[in-house]
């Protein structure tokens, strides 16, 4: 068959490797890697093929499988983006060459693998199989250089796989590796701690000359990362984050903590609430926040995983962790996993907006209201009654928790300007804790009342300017449109 493939492709070099570990080290040298499931004494798992894909660079990985359509192996391969697998009974030279030349697309793979829509969300609970972990542990135990053996074995693993492996290592091997710089790096990521003054390397490739960091390394910067808590108004949270992302070069994240009726994604007009192929064990959900929460609860959350769970908006720099979709869980959340999500988010995103329920007894809301890092925005409808009701809630919280909460500001979110207080009165009542107002015209009110979604990206210029003023007060530099710059230029010319 090898000669037939070589002839059909017209290629000059075709190499046969029978040792899987050796082949895994050299796959980056080849454009196409064809691997049989039974190339080693222990049949390869989906994770083995994923490791080959990670280490192959731009190479095409084609598994030859003793599997059936719709099997767990096929689901797993599909979920990690390996679309060119071939069933053993179809592995003729002609068929292999056809796949090499056409490079099967996602939809074609879905049909060939017999993947259903529900299957896409189901991924094996283990990032590495027991066989893989056992193989690596035995290798390390037999190695005279444990640190060198550890580096060798993890070089072709993805970041989640490395973190899972570290968790599974026996204590004696962890003790042997405690001085290893690479081990310490991933152990730190696993614990959720980080040094914000250094770049965070998500994945890296070691060569003889130097350490090469991949392009998705988070760059060190001097700008202060900002955390905002928006109390009880999903619409304000969506619009404020939208305006920030529109006027920042850094990335912005929205975390929707609404646990009963989440709707931040509706205001943004987002069609997808989770990313394709992302799942957490047996959890079935359309909430990316719930996915992140479950991973954080197991203490496995890290920068790479959170970045992959967060759902991108049409802006390249706006991401959303969409709200809980399981009504049975709304009373079971606790703040510790949320704390991990917040800590890691602030190492990735320039600004993080957290939408909280208007409920002082909700553990997630309470944590965000008491978070010393957060700038807390309390919206009210602009009326004196609305303001006093919100102020009473905050006073109750202050007394119950015995805290000063100096990071609170009140924002008039006005739907009915005819009943709104004057700004001077608001400043006086709030003792200067007034940050600004956002008012609605009739078109906006009608769109909201008609349950139209996705209109955040159609903010009128007047409302955009009001958001800009609020952002400026928090030190977020905003872009100026051409007309504003032109007016200033003409004023200077006079």
Average pLDDT, integer, range 198-211 = 31
Quick check: helix, strand or coil at residue 145?
coil
What average pLDDT does the chain have? 78
Question: CA-CA distances (angstroms) from residue 285 to 6, 160, 365?
Answer: 46, 21, 22
Go through 453-491 and write b for each residue having 16 or more CB atoms within 10 A of its CB, e for each that does not: eebbeebeeebbebbbebbeebebebeeeeeeeeeeeee
Cα dist. 386→109, 230, 392 in Å?
Answer: 55, 16, 10
| Domain 226-488, CATH class in plain words | alpha beta
Please give the structure tokens belonging to residue 357: 């329920």
For the chain, what is the radius of gyration of the CA atoms? 27
- As given in the structure block, the two tokens for residue 243 are 């305006």
| Burial degree of 323 (CB within 10 A; 0-12, 13-18, 19+) | buried
Residue 88 has a pLDDT of 86
Specify the pLDDT at position 477: 67
Q: Cα dist. 84→8, 60, 407 in Å? A: 18, 8, 54
Average pLDDT over residues 26-33: 70
What confidence score (pLDDT) does residue 7 get? Answer: 63
**Integer Cα distance of 450 and 459 in angstroms:** 17
CB–CB of 147/180 below 8 Å? Answer: yes
Comparing 182 with 398, which gets the higher pLDDT?
Answer: 398
pLDDT over 60 (residue 129)? yes
Mind listing the pLDDT tens digit for each residue in 283-302? 889 999 999 999 998 888 88
For residue 494, the tally of other CB atoms under 10 A from its CB is 4
- Domain span(s) for CATH 3.40.50.300 in the chain: 226-488
What span, in angstroms and rounded, lies between the C-alpha atoms of 196 and 126? 30
- Give ranges for CATH 3.40.50.2300 in the chain: 2-121
Start-to-end CA distance of the chain, whole Å, equals 81
pLDDT grade for 219, boundaries at 50, 70 and 90: very low
Q: Out of 121-130, 184-193, 316-325, which region has the weakest mean confidence (pLDDT)?
A: 121-130
Q: pTM higher than 0.75, yes or no?
A: no
Q: How far is Cα 78 from Cα 426, in angstroms, rounded to an integer?
A: 56
Q: Beta-carbon neighbour count of residue 436 at 10 Å?
A: 19
Domain 2-121 has what CATH class?
alpha beta
């Amino acid at each position: 068959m090898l000669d037939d493939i070589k002839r059909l492709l017209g290629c000059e070099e075709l190499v046969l490797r029978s040792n899987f570990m050796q082949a895994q080290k050299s796959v980056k040298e080849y454009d196409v890697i064809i691997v049989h499931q039974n190339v080693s004494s222990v049949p390869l798992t989906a994770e083995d093929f994923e490791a080959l894909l990670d280490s192959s660079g731009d190479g095409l990985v084609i598994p030859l499988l003793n599997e059936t359509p719709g099997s767990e192996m096929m689901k797993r391969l599909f979920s990690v983006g390996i679309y060119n697998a071939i069933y053993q009974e179809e592995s003729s030279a002609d068929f292999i060459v056809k796949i090499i030349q056409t490079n099967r697309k996602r939809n074609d793979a879905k049909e060939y693998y017999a993947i259903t829509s529900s299957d896409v969300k189901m991924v094996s609970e283990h990032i590495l199989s027991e066989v893989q972990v056992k193989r690596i542990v035995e290798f390390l135990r037999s190695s005279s250089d444990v640190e060198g053996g550890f580096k060798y074995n993890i070089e072709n693993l993805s970041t989640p796989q490395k973190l899972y492996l570290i968790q599974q290592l026996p204590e004696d091997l962890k003790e042997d590796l405690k001085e290893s710089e690479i081990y310490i790096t991933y152990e730190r990521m696993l614990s959720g701690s980080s040094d914000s003054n250094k770049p965070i390397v998500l994945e890296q490739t070691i060569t003889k000359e130097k350490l090469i960091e991949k392009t998705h390394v988070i760059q060190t910067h001097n700008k202060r990362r900002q955390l905002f808590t928006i109390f009880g108004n999903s619409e304000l949270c969506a619009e404020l984050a939208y305006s920030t992302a529109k006027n920042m070069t850094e990335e912005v994240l929205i975390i929707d903590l609404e646990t009963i009726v989440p709707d931040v994604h509706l205001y943004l007009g987002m069609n997808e609430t989770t990313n394709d192929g992302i799942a957490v064990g047996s959890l079935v959900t359309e909430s990316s926040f719930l996915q992140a929460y479950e991973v954080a609860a197991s203490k496995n959350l890290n920068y790479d995983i959170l970045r992959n769970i967060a759902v991108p908006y049409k802006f390249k720099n706006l991401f959303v962790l969409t709200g809980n979709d399981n009504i049975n869980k709304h009373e079971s959340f606790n703040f510790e996993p949320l704390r991990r999500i917040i800590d890691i988010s602030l190492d990735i995103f320039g600004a993080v907006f957290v939408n909280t329920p208007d409920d002082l007894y909700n553990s997630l809301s309470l944590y965000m209201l008491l978070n010393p890092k957060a700038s807390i925005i309390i919206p009210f409808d602009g009326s004196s009654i609305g303001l006093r009701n919100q102020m009473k809630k905050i006073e109750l919280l202050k007394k119950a928790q015995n805290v000063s909460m100096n990071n609170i500001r009140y924002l008039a979110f006005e739907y009915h300007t005819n009943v709104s207080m004057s700004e001077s009165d608001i400043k006086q009542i709030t003792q200067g804790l007034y940050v600004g107002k956002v008012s609605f015209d009739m078109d906006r009110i009608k769109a909201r009342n008609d349950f139209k979604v996705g209109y955040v990206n159609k903010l009128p210029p007047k409302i955009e300017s009001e958001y800009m003023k609020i952002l400026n007060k928090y030190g977020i530099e905003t872009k100026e449109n051409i007309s504003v710059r032109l007016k200033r230029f003409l004023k200077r010319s006079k």
